[in-house]
Amino acid sequence: MRPALFLLMSATTALSFSAFSQSWQSNDSPATVVELFTSEGCSSCPPAEAALNNLKDSDGLWTRVIPLAFHVDYWNYIGWADRFAKPDFSQRQRQKVSQSDASGVYTPGWFINDQEWRGFFSRQPVPYANGPKAERLTASINGNTLRVDYEGNDRLNANFALLAMDLATQVKRGENRGKTLEHDFVVVDFAAKYGQRHWQFTLDSDVAAKPSAFAVWLTPQGGGDPVQTVAGWLTPQ
């Protein structure tokens, strides 16, 4: 059972991974990676986040679909600073737009397996489907170290994200003034490295909210469909 909804009152949360140890693996088909670029300062974003949030009740959560909400910072100037926003997330969106010939940088901006998806604006459900079966992918967290091991031989980008769930923010200024915004799948830590078979990451202990889940996905260097994925809930400490 996930923790109850709470109001985010502080900008950052210090985490201790010192005693944490957990591992996951998959040798099945990769899940679809759904990325939503969003902002608490964007009046068009709450309906998009509600659509993403609905995926938490999907039977295929983590195995068929991995939802990710990247909060961008380029709307912070209009009156409300999004507590989850990072410049790196804005840059990630710009890079994805450049790589996929998407129509532009905007919110809410959807990408399904690195391809721009505009079906949300015509009220289509979020699409996802499994890719071809792949070699075994294992992710292990020990302390503040994440180790990723893949049994395939291709050189790939290993991406990881820590995700916070069941959050809410009372917005006092800007386009969403007076609203309480509910958030799931909020990316609070993210990194990517290019390599082969083995990757290692250091987890950030100073994040915007305590993570409840994690995801790892391997992609070709230039982006595209994930080759393999593994994701799941973090065991409460």
The DSSP annotation for 161-180 comes to: EEEE-SEEEE--SSTTTT-E
Residue 101's pLDDT is 80
Domain carrying residue 155 = 6-233
Instruction: Specify the pLDDT at position 222.
Output: 86
Establish if 1 belongs to a structural domain. no
pLDDT at 16: 65
pLDDT for 23 equals 95
Cα pseudo-dihedral 24, 232, 190, 65, rounded to 10: 120
Determine contact, residues 200/146, Cβ cutoff 8 Å.
yes
What 3-state DSSP class applies to 34? Answer: strand
Residues 6+ apart with CB under 8 A from 51: 120, 126
pLDDT computed for residue 129 by the predictor: 86
Burial class (CB in 10 A: 0-12, 13-18, 19+), 135: middle
pLDDT of amino acid 18 = 65
Note the pLDDT of residue 2: 37
Residue 174, token pair as written in the block? 């800007």
Q: What pLDDT score does 12 carry?
A: 56
Separation between Cα atoms, residue 163 and residue 26, nearest integer Å:
19
Q: With a cut of 70, list the residues of the chain below it in pLDDT.
A: 1-12, 14, 16, 18-19, 237
* Predicted pLDDT at 100: 84
Tally of domains within the chain:
1
H or E element, residue 217: strand 213-219
Q: What pLDDT does 77 receive?
A: 94
Query: What's the pTM?
Result: 0.92
Residue 75 Rama label (left phi>0; alpha psi -120 to 50; beta): alpha
Would you call 138 helix, strand, or coil by DSSP?
Answer: strand
